[in-house]
Amino acid sequence: WFCYWWLDRYEPEPRRYKIAAFVWGGVVAVGIALALQIFIQDTWNLSDETMASVVAPLTEEPAKCLFLLLTFIRWRRVIDGFLDGLVYAGIVGIGFAFIENIGYYLASYLGSPDIKIAGAEGATTTFIVRGIFSPFAHPLFTSAFGIALGVAVMVRSKILKTLIVVLGLAASAGLHALWNSSLSYGGAEGFVLAYLALGGLLFLLGVFAIVVRVRQVRVLESSLAYVSERGWIHPAEIPYLSRFGYRRAARRYAKKHHGKVAFRAVRRYQALATQMSFLHAAMMSGRTMPHGVERTYALLPDCGAVLHERDLADLIDAVYPTVELTSLDGFARFRDGQFLLPLLVHEPKSVLLDLLEIDSVTGLWLKDYEAYSLAHPDERPRFEIPLNYRDAVRAKLRQHPHGNQPYLIDEQAYSPETGLHMERLLAETGYEIF
């Protein structure tokens, strides 16, 4: 699970889809495969070797891959590349293996005709074989189909798309059949050879995933540099949007110096800027047509809207130019294999710095202390005054113990136009700094 989380960090897939993938693998796919295997066994009374080597791959892999196929058909932009296909395929495989392994552990402990050793010794042996030596088997099998689906995304021909998807499914079932039949038909030597072969494929898959992820970083930085030239973001922000170390440092700084709301705002801005950059790269490469940008934005969190806290939306709107998305194809030009848009006249400004200046905490007049304490929770917001977190902490203001815990301020130390009068707070000896 950690491996797929690491692959998915730059452009995280929606959590609901990842949960659905795990549930599909552990419940739906297991149920479909089990029902088909019981029906086939009752109808033709096949041998255990045939069931494991032929029937199991031909029922389990289509059942798992069906989730990716349905997701691709219904929500095409959810799976738009190799990494998306790998992540969803791996999660479906993990869900399937999780439930299947539980069944094998129980069967080993209780004893079954297929397993010679029962009790704790049998369960331990099965755990070592399935949980330690082959935990990536099912994710590896399904990953073949996930990669094929990622290739199909890049292809325009429907016939070629279908052929690639069918070949991906055949590869998944073939790898599964090779693994299941190695011990039955090849003995110990066949099992070792199959284990080494699948281990080599797993290593190559890991190398492939790392290469694709490195390329994803380069695409992100290139796209961020391009949009910064248009004035949509400040060039100095690029490291804080593309490098995880810098991203964490920006969020830690925001939380330490400007509070939790600023921390969430910076995190949100980083996520949206990353999504915007990947969307821009997809449109420039032709994978997303300009007239499809508005539809693609609808798939982003909050339908592409920014965090609705205080005046953060106004801050973002002040930095990003207003573009009529539906009219992009009216002035876009296709040249040298990519869509080119005219540069927008805009003065670059740092959103990250603006996010840290929002009024993210509340204040309360000292004279309203008792009224606020006695007021109903729904009535308390009318007493609250927006304050900048940094100024409130610097002035060491005391907080009210109830409600939103607003900072207590004196009328002489605050005005709606200019906020807290820091000089008066720090210089006047007659005012007590709590």
Q: How far apart are CA 118 and CA 126, in angstroms?
A: 10
pLDDT (0 to 100) of residue 224? 86
pLDDT (0 to 100) of residue 252? 87
pLDDT (0 to 100) of residue 411? 74
pLDDT (0 to 100) of residue 353? 57
pLDDT (0 to 100) of residue 387? 79
- Percent helix, percent strand, percent coil in the chain, to nearest 5: 70, 5, 25
- Asked if 347 and 320 touch (Cβ cutoff 8 Å), the reply is no
Please identify every stretch of the chain with a pLDDT value under 70, giving residue numbers as ranges: 77, 112-117, 230-232, 283-360, 416-419, 421-434
pLDDT (0 to 100) of residue 42? 93
pLDDT (0 to 100) of residue 292? 46
With b for 16 or more beta-carbon neighbours within 10 A and e for fewer, the 126-159 pattern comes to beeebeeebebbbbbbbbbbbbbbbbbbeeeeee
**φ and ψ of 112, to 5 deg:** -150, 160
pLDDT (0 to 100) of residue 414? 74
Domain ranges of the chain: 2-221, 231-355, 361-427
DSSP three-state, residue 419: strand
Strands (E) located in 305-433: 333-335, 338-340, 361-365, 385-387, 407-409, 414-415, 419-420
Instruction: DSSP letter for 305, please.
Output: -
Helical residues (DSSP H) of 48-136, grouped into ranges:
48-50, 56-74, 82-110, 119-126
Neighbours of 423 (CB within 10 A): 9
Neighbours of 245 (CB within 10 A): 9
Tallying the residues shown for the chain, one arrives at 434
